[in-house]
A and B are shown apart, each in its own frame.
Chain A
Amino acid sequence: MSKTTTGEQTPAAPDDQGVGAAGSHMSTAPVETLANVSGLGVIGWARWFWRQLTSMRVALLLLLLVALGAIPGSLIPQSGSDETKVADFRKAHETLAPIYDRLGLFHVYSSVWFSAIYILLFVSLIGCIVPRTWQFVGQLRGRPPGAPRRLTRLPAYTVWRTEAEPEEVREAALALLKKRRFRAHLTGDAVAAEKGYLREVGNLAFHTALIVLLVAFAWGQLFKSEGNKLLVEGNGGFSNTLISYDDFKSGNLFDVDDLNPFSFTLNKFTGTYEVSGPNRGTPRVYQAAITYSEGAYGKDKKTVVEVNHPLEIGDAKVYLTAHGYAPLVTVRDGKGNVVFQDAVPLLPLDSNVTSSGVIKVLDGYKNARGVSEQLGISAFFLPTYTPGSETASTFPALGNPVLNLTPYHGDLGVNSGIPQSVYQLDKSHMKGFKDSKGAQLRENLKPGETMKLPNGAGSVTYEGTREWANFQIVQEPGSGWALVGAFTAIFGLAASLFIQRRRVWVRAVKGADGVTVVEMAGLGRSESAKVPEELGELAAILYDQAPGAPDPGSSDSPDLQVVPAEGAEKQ
């Protein structure tokens, strides 16, 4: 006989309690055994280790460890979510950083030790679920255990005397319990019944769902792809191939062929902002109107992508993640030929979208002497310029846009082979244009205004402003499974926590004086007020069918009136 270790029902000394085997097997929780390991062979040790790993105690410890292990990741910058913060941290803590590196504290959730904890936990979980499932199947195939010898010892108990015959009472009890959807059967002089098996089903479903959840999550990480694309209003489009991305990350098992074929263009970005109050400048409307088509030759469709409403195409999702301004700039050479005309996306620097970037004229430009050169123009942009605040915009919308330009000429160095950011200017081979006083030329332009480059070197015109939007394109297979796992977990948990598993026994035997004594007792998985209540209800119904006989009056202890049938326990 095995001892249960769950619930408050643990019979300290089962036989003394008289509850015996009937009180156990109410749960499929693993048995806590302290096996004697001295003198065991390799197999013995392995078995011992396995038993430890799949014991409740170790599961508890591993759970605690997972919780503890997750903490540092929330307090130390993580390279997975914010590289720049990690870099700042490294600079600020020069002695600590290498130690952290060693311990993998900059990527806790993919570190060796964190993985070790949760893998152990999940091995333990599997090692726990499998035997528990078999055990439970066994319980389902078997029948509720027969009545303990002394029902008085059970947490809920009642007794009365009746004129009805014991057989009648047992029949009535069996019918009643079956009607109440107990699994009930007659053994010896008593009816044994059990209900609430769904609790165990729920518990097993919950733990299994956790595994599904983890596997789905891991699957998603392995096959995930994620990239960004910046699009300017009415200017170019995106098609879902590797070369179209500005940047791209993917999981270890991702294959380029996994990318869903689709394409889209940005028609218009709309952003409005709070104009007054303490939250002035906080975005209110923030949406991108796009035209997209699915497949290689799909029909054009229009839609709006908003912050909480990504566009879903197959298992790919298109998110709107950022927005900024792209001044439309025309550059002419000394002869007045247009050598560059484009909307140049600038990077926002603050919440009022003060932006900066570079206009790069790579070819086609000839200087005043007719020599081919490249132009690089540092651009600084304030969507709302307020006199007095020269270097920072005062509002994120296009209130009073000003484009500040600082032109250079020479060699941009884009052919040097070193990858270059489109937002930065490498001035090592560039010379600044000088103004009439000999200082670096620098000018503020309003829309429509033109800056003349000195000595007939041409001109730069700020034609107007377009907006750009950044899209994140994410493809993460397995999320459907994760969702299924998650909801199974919730329902399993609810069943496991809210359903009571309980047993009821009804014994009817002839007492010494020839009057039938009916004894009823109930036992729950955990101590609960519901068990006695339900027993009371059942007893009341049964009492109507087997009404009480006059009390012999002598004794007030029900214990003494019961003479258990000989051999009842053996049945």
Chain B
Amino acid sequence: MTLAAATNENLANISNTLIYSSMAVYTLAFFAYIAEWLLGSRSKVGRTAAALTDARKAGAPAVTVQKAGGTAVLERPKVVVRSATGARDVPDGPGAHGGDEQGDLYGRIAISLTVLAFLVELGGVVARAASVERAPWGNMYEFNITFSTVAVGVYLGLLALKKNIRWLGLFLITTVLLDLGLAVTVLYTASDQLVPALHSYWLYIHVSTAIFCGAVFYVGAVATILYLFKDSYENKLATGGKPGKFANSFLDRLPSSASLDKFAYRVNAAVFPLWTFTIIAGAIWAGDAWGRYWGWDPKETWSFITWVGYACYLHARATAGWKGRKAAYLAMLAFACWLFNYYGVNIFVSGKHSYAGV
């Protein structure tokens, strides 16, 4: 064996060790998130319930927002914000810790562990890339580890931007663990070079944007699911129903359904142009590699279906009678198409895309 090959093998082993280590750290983070949820209590008064009953008594409360960063706030006129008519004025929940100090501490520990695990996993992905001397997107194993890294990266990035999304942690890390578990057991492929058909700079463009879009769509999908739960919870409260204890404790801590909905929309809308670009980049690449831009190959077809799915979602939000829950169902459907395109098409359907090895 040549020296270079030995180095590569070494790097590949280092990569594997790092991936396993990151799984260990993610597991710790997972337990910390659980502790956050368990120790954190819901706020003493059920906020949502209180807001909804208040609203019926006293009309919509106005929330006062001051533009951040001004010390001379007193000098400035205050801007009064009110939500659209028809929307429930429900304050956002306090987050998983529910205002409990110990819960908050565990939450912070969980975030720190997530950051650590993210860095370790990132190291694993980079080592893998170095070992194969190309971008780490040649097969499903590599795709999976990169995908979860990017998804966690998106989450941490949003946190760093001070977005109110700490509540997403538990759900995200749970699925990241599933994704990694699948990667190291079922999908593992020893590191190797690409077949020539995958040699193109369009690979870098097309696949990296595809992974990124997937990660962001995923974050959007989690928010959408939580929106659906929170929305029914609020509906129940608003109509005088009594949600179960679990719902009371759990859902009350999440942001309001309107916030969740808005967050999901922003996330999905923000990557939609990039997803459009991903498909176009793929078509350009296919034009170079296969002699046609568009050939209704299963992978192309499902990318198209996913795209149309999200277009439906965006349209639905602009159509009377389709806003809210119906639109959310469309978003879930679109994400299901994305998932099927990734796992389903690679595993069950054969097409030009499947030669990279499962």
- A209 to chain B minimum Cβ distance, whole angstroms, is 10
Residue of A nearest to B138 (CB): A279
Cβ of B197: which chain A residues have Cβ within 8 Å of it?
307-308
Stretch at the interface among B176-184, B212-220, B265-273: B265-273
Cβ of B291: which chain A residues have Cβ within 8 Å of it?
226, 310, 317, 319, 321, 472, 474
Q: Bound state CA distance, A226 and B357, in angstroms? A: 29
A308 lies within 8 A of B297 (CB)? no
B229 at the interface (CB under 8 A from A): no
Stretch at the interface among B92-100, B140-148, B305-313: B305-313
Q: Bound state CA distance, A218 and B304, in angstroms? A: 17
Cβ contact of B295, chosen from A29, A57, A81, A483, cutoff 8 A: A81
A60 lies within 8 A of B76 (CB)? no
Cβ contact of B318, chosen from A6, A282, A489, A494, cutoff 8 A: A6
Stretch at the interface among B51-59, B82-90, B149-157: B82-90
Cβ of B65: which chain A residues have Cβ within 8 Å of it?
532, 536
Q: What 1/0 flags go to B47-81 for Cβ under 8 Å of A?
A: 00000000000000000011100100001111111
B195 at the interface (CB under 8 A from A): yes
Cβ of A80: which chain B residues have Cβ within 8 Å of it?
295-296
- A496 to chain B minimum Cβ distance, whole angstroms, is 9
Stretch at the interface among A63-71, A96-104, A361-369, A443-451: A63-71
B315 lies within 8 A of A60 (CB)? yes
Q: Bound state CA distance, A75 and B349, in angstroms? A: 7
B196 lies within 8 A of A284 (CB)? yes
Given the contacts A67-B308, A279-B193, A548-B77, A60 and B296 also touching, CB distance less than 8 Å: no
Stretch at the interface among A152-160, A295-303, A373-381, A388-396: A152-160
A155 lies within 8 A of B322 (CB)? no
Given the contacts A5-B318, A60-B312, A535-B79, A277 and B345 also touching, CB distance less than 8 Å: no
Cβ contact of B305, chosen from A27, A70, A78, A489, cutoff 8 A: A70
A421 at the interface (CB under 8 A from B): no
B292 at the interface (CB under 8 A from A): yes
Residue of B nearest to A8 (CB): B84
B276 lies within 8 A of A490 (CB)? yes
B195 lies within 8 A of A532 (CB)? no
B81 lies within 8 A of A12 (CB)? no
Given the contacts A5-B318, A157-B80, A158-B79, A11 and B85 also touching, CB distance less than 8 Å: yes
A131 at the interface (CB under 8 A from B): no
A479 at the interface (CB under 8 A from B): yes
Cβ of B309: which chain A residues have Cβ within 8 Å of it?
67
A307 lies within 8 A of B289 (CB)? yes
Residue of A nearest to B198 (CB): A308
B85 lies within 8 A of A71 (CB)? no
B305-353 interface with A by 8 A CB criterion: 305, 308-309, 311-312, 314-316, 318-323, 337, 345, 349
B31 at the interface (CB under 8 A from A): no
B171 at the interface (CB under 8 A from A): no
B79 lies within 8 A of A539 (CB)? yes
B277 at the interface (CB under 8 A from A): yes
B200 at the interface (CB under 8 A from A): yes
A246-289 interface with B by 8 A CB criterion: 274, 277-279, 282-286
A64 lies within 8 A of B190 (CB)? no
- A432 to chain B minimum Cβ distance, whole angstroms, is 39
Q: Bound state CA distance, A569 and B170, in angstroms? A: 52
Cβ of A70: which chain B residues have Cβ within 8 Å of it?
296, 301, 304-305, 308
- B89 to chain A minimum Cβ distance, whole angstroms, is 12
Q: Bound state CA distance, A67 and B315, in angstroms? A: 14
Cβ contact of A536, chosen from B66, B87, B192, B308, cutoff 8 A: B66
Cβ of A476: which chain B residues have Cβ within 8 Å of it?
292-293
A56 lies within 8 A of B318 (CB)? yes
B287 at the interface (CB under 8 A from A): yes
Cβ contact of B76, chosen from A78, A308, A540, cutoff 8 A: A540
Residue of B nearest to A278 (CB): B190
Cβ of B357: which chain A residues have Cβ within 8 Å of it?
279
Q: What 1/0 flags go to A128-157 for Cβ under 8 Å of B?
A: 000000000000000000000000111111
Q: Bound state CA distance, A279 and B193, in angstroms? A: 9
Cβ of A487: which chain B residues have Cβ within 8 Å of it?
280
B302 at the interface (CB under 8 A from A): yes
B298 at the interface (CB under 8 A from A): yes
B134 at the interface (CB under 8 A from A): no
Cβ contact of A59, chosen from B77, B79, B84, B315, cutoff 8 A: B315
Q: Bound state CA distance, A155 and B297, in angstroms? A: 48
Cβ contact of A156, chosen from B79, B192, B296, B311, cutoff 8 A: B79
Q: Bound state CA distance, A156 and B284, in angstroms? A: 45
A234 at the interface (CB under 8 A from B): no
Cβ of B196: which chain A residues have Cβ within 8 Å of it?
283-286, 306-308
A314 at the interface (CB under 8 A from B): no
Residue of A nearest to B306 (CB): A67
Q: Bound state CA distance, A57 and B309, in angstroms? A: 15
B79 lies within 8 A of A490 (CB)? no
Cβ contact of A71, chosen from B200, B294, B305, B312, cutoff 8 A: B305
Residue of A nearest to B191 (CB): A277
Given the contacts A6-B318, A70-B304, A539 and B199 also touching, CB distance less than 8 Å: no
The 9 closest A-B pairs by CB, nearest first: A536-B67, A308-B200, A74-B301, A67-B308, A74-B298, A56-B319, A5-B320, A158-B77, A286-B196
List 17 other contacts, CB 8 Å, given A11-B85, A490-B280, A539-B77.
A56-B315, A57-B319, A60-B312, A63-B315, A67-B312, A70-B296, A74-B349, A81-B295, A108-B296, A155-B82, A278-B189, A286-B196, A319-B291, A476-B293, A493-B273, A497-B272, A540-B77
Q: Which B residues form the contact surface with A (CB < 8 A)?
A: 65-67, 70, 75-87, 189-190, 192-193, 195-197, 199-200, 202, 262, 269-270, 272-273, 276-277, 280, 283-285, 287-298, 301-302, 304-305, 308-309, 311-312, 314-316, 318-323, 337, 345, 349, 357
- Please, could you name 28 A-B residue pairs with CB atoms under 8 Å apart, sorted by A? A5-B319, A7-B318, A67-B304, A70-B301, A73-B301, A74-B302, A74-B345, A155-B81, A156-B81, A157-B79, A157-B80, A158-B77, A274-B192, A278-B192, A308-B196, A308-B197, A308-B199, A309-B288, A474-B292, A490-B276, A493-B273, A497-B269, A527-B84, A536-B65, A536-B67, A536-B77, A536-B79, A548-B75
